Chains A and B, each alone.
Chain A
């Protein structure tokens, strides 16, 4: 069977009932989706199938023949962050980072489907995503800022050897 992940087409060798999470992590070496609970309970394995956020740990790969999957690796890169990645970074919405892949993907899906900055809608969109570090406030702040158009994609200036990293974050909340 075939699977397109982050725009790259793969022929999948894993057994048909293998969860998508295992295929991504073990067969394709795409490790941003995390095995937090493998029971659909924590959200850390979330990926987009087409436009829809889905729990990769519960999806048998056989149900996805020909599908397009987006993981966090498929959004912006370190020197060109997407708006939602920039928002998470600038609003300190990632602490230990382990839930972040799933959170950012779900938030990205929310923005793509026309999500608003309204906090209740964001909470509904991120329901089922467990974060034990932040208490969620900064995550919701980040998504609200991105949904409200306050955040643009960031072309990051990456320090060259010998150069000092900048301390100010443009657009960071006061």
Chain B
């Protein structure tokens, strides 16, 4: 236990400051081919023609791969959890976002690969696109996805993530005031300084060695094995050195396509995305649309919360159902609200599929929940710290998904923030602890509702 509490040097620090850390882009394999992708030039459309003959005939081109070359075309990022797949590795009949890969080329050098991409004959019939989650439910909205405009497979067949706790009607009847707010954090690109990159080497024994910048090595291994329909013992993944990920390197962006090119060409293959590709079509943090209506009392107790969330999943589901589920579990923030009615939808749009980023699903709802706490305080003329301490999670309170907290840290955290900012708390709040709520803290109408998991 020498390491606990000690200030340890980074195990990789000396390699970093001497330039000796070996990232995927720094690996040198003789005979490596370069990869480029033909990407959808439109946000939404039907593919009516794809002619590879000129590209394949170009000198220096060793392989062109389309959907026809993929043993299992659709494999979802959550397939292993039994969630159905919806996204083809390479577009087949239609494209649903600008930059979606349609074909990939491996050639002697980057310029030849790019020339081959430009020589592919692509015909697309453009269709109307949808970008605003709020319009997805309109009768005349463009049809984005073959499942409909929102994800229909929660718990097998629910079209939303739904939470019901207590009686929202009762809370709204008892309320002195309803405080409403709409919160819309935008998409964020992770911008790792290392763009998506991989190097695949077909070995003489039939295995593939895959140098990957993935954040989730065994996960990527499963995805590649599934698409290629290969047993795991045919894949040797080498990873662990990630030049920035922040969630953006959880999705398997390049490894599967490069593996197909390596198998088809019999040559080592490398793909390093340009910064432009990274911005155009790497996954982003999702934009969220959140509407909150809280039933509150004049003295600052939150009795009930109604919430609607529209999670912009982009063109395919990927991890979004998981992200929205986490979001729903955290939608009261660090506070306990006895009556809840939450409805969340994973909405499809013609944007790049969205993914994890630092606190997947939770960061967005924390932003909304905290902003809303301050808004309630402002509308009631109460201290924003004290309203937080009042509604703070305490032992025995239950999360929106019914888990009892054993050691919640809301109260000491808010007190520490107040201290740090020099914010004067009134006596009761300064000395408040995380102990169970007492009668003096608890108004009559909340007796038996807070601090008692059995009440729900």
Residues of chain A having any CB pair with chain B under 8 Å: 29, 31-32, 34-39, 41-42, 44, 71-73, 75-78, 81, 85-86, 88-90, 92, 94, 96-101, 104, 130-133, 156, 167-169, 172
Contacts and interface: CB of A to CB of B under 8 A. Distances in A.
A38 B23 contact: no
B18 A77 contact: yes
B23 A94 contact: no
Nearest to A90: B9
A92 B10 contact: yes
A72 B19 contact: yes
Interface of B: 2-3, 6-10, 12-23, 25-26, 28, 190-195, 242-246, 272, 274-275
Nearest to A85: B17
B275 A39 contact: yes
A157 B232 CA distance: 41
Nearest to A133: B244
Contact of A81 (B14, B21, B243): B14
B275 A131 contact: no
A169 B9 contact: yes
A34 B25 contact: yes
A101 B193 contact: no
Given A96-B244, A169-B7, A71 B19 contact: yes
B246 A132 contact: yes
A131 to B, nearest CB: 7
A89 B17 contact: yes
Contact of A167 (B2, B13, B28, B242): B2
B193 A34 contact: yes
A104 B14 CA distance: 12
Given A94-B13, A99-B193, A32 B19 contact: yes
Given A41-B275, A71-B19, A132-B190, 12 more contacts: A32-B19, A34-B193, A75-B18, A77-B18, A78-B15, A81-B14, A92-B10, A97-B15, A130-B193, A132-B244, A156-B14, A168-B6
A52 B18 CA distance: 19
A130 B278 CA distance: 15
12 contacts: A72-B17, A88-B16, A94-B10, A96-B243, A97-B16, A104-B17, A131-B193, A132-B193, A132-B246, A167-B2, A167-B8, A167-B9
Contact of A100 (B2, B6, B17, B242): B17
Contacts of B16: 88-89, 94, 97, 100
Nearest to B25: A35
Contact of B243 (A31, A76, A78, A98): A98
A168 B10 CA distance: 11
A96 B13 CA distance: 9
Given A97-B243, A132-B191, A132-B193, A38 B18 contact: no
A76 B18 contact: yes
Given A31-B26, A97-B12, A42 B19 contact: no
A173 B210 CA distance: 40
A133 to B, nearest CB: 6
A172 B9 CA distance: 9
